[in-house]
Chains A and B, each alone.
Chain A
């Protein structure tokens, strides 16, 4: 019962935040609302007993990405979203309504939350639940699956994060301020 109340409250706040984001055109406020949106989603994940996902959502969505978006906003000159004149939003509205209706129609076939006969519970999940403790000795099943059973995937994810860092360094990492170009430093140039 308490779950339902918390879920309804959180989802209502999510919807309010989403509408507020759409209605606003102050980019600074929108970024802060994005952070709140992520925090509310993290709360929803906690209610669904997905503590690991909630952790990630709170740290990345509400923390790091908000800071990064603020840093990006600091680089731009205009902090207001510009609305194109003579813009008719009817076609996008129709597309959104049709897509949303299709998605809602799709949810009708989805098994209920926590249904033990759902396909995702009958495939490999029973194996993990039964064997992860004797196989790995790690009580946190999420960690066991992530690092051991799905070790290759996690290696790939780590490489993706590493690649993202390299890409950012290549694109905007080298500081080319006037100070540097006036006094060219050979060592610095070699590095970049």
Chain B
């Protein structure tokens, strides 16, 4: 699809908006619909659109596979790490209340971090799967 001018121009315009929307869904998930999983999938959809229109090699230059492998682990570690942190602060595993000065503040911080972990893992794993499948077809 490298020679399709309309597709190239329109996707160049759309991709920043999709990424912005993914970030909105990620950080606004406490108030509106959405959360880490949806945000991760939307973010990876933006990169996949870029890879489909401009080619897999260019997309892999932006987000190398090596980085994705690390990021997918970081997301899970962030989630599990929040649990360990709450244990160190004297609470149960994943008891967010102890993270902040008040119960509600702690819950807010904990949910934000946990959703961020989910988002990072989901986005990078979706891209890993896509790159693995699409990279298979290359000569």
* Chain A interfacial positions (CB closer than 8 Å to B): 51-52, 54-56, 59-60, 63-64, 67-68, 71-72, 74-75, 134-140, 142-144, 146-148, 151-152, 154-155, 157-159, 161-162, 164-165, 168-169, 172-173, 175, 177, 191
Contacts and interface: CB of A to CB of B under 8 A. Distances in A.
Contacts of A63: 41, 45
B63 interface: no
B116 to A, nearest CB: 10
B96 A148 contact: yes
A140 B29 CA distance: 7
Main secondary structure of the interface of A (DSSP, over half): helix
Contacts of B53: none
B33 interface: yes
B87 interface: no
B85 interface: no
Q: Which residue, B66, B110, B128, has most C-beta atoms of chain A within 10 A?
A: B128
B30 A60 contact: no
Main secondary structure of the interface of B (DSSP, over half): helix
B137 A162 contact: no
A74 B137 contact: yes
A162 B42 contact: no
Interface of B: 25, 29-35, 37-38, 41-42, 44-45, 48, 52, 66, 69, 72-73, 75-76, 79-80, 83, 93-94, 96, 103-105, 107-108, 110-111, 114-115, 117-118, 121-122, 124-126, 128-130, 132-139
Contact of A147 (B111, B130, B133): B111
8 contacts: A63-B41, A67-B130, A68-B130, A71-B130, A72-B133, A138-B31, A151-B114, A191-B66
B92 to A, nearest CB: 10
Nearest to A56: B38
Contacts of B117: 158
Given A135-B103, A140-B32, A55 B38 contact: yes
A152 B133 CA distance: 31
Contacts of A158: 75-76, 79, 117-118, 121-122
A162 B136 CA distance: 20
B124 A165 contact: yes
B38 A64 contact: no
B41 A56 contact: yes
Nearest to B44: A64
Contact of A155 (B30, B79, B104, B138): B79
A52 B41 contact: no
A148 B44 CA distance: 25
Nearest to A63: B45
Contacts of A136: 104, 107-108, 111
A60 B74 CA distance: 22
B124 A135 contact: no
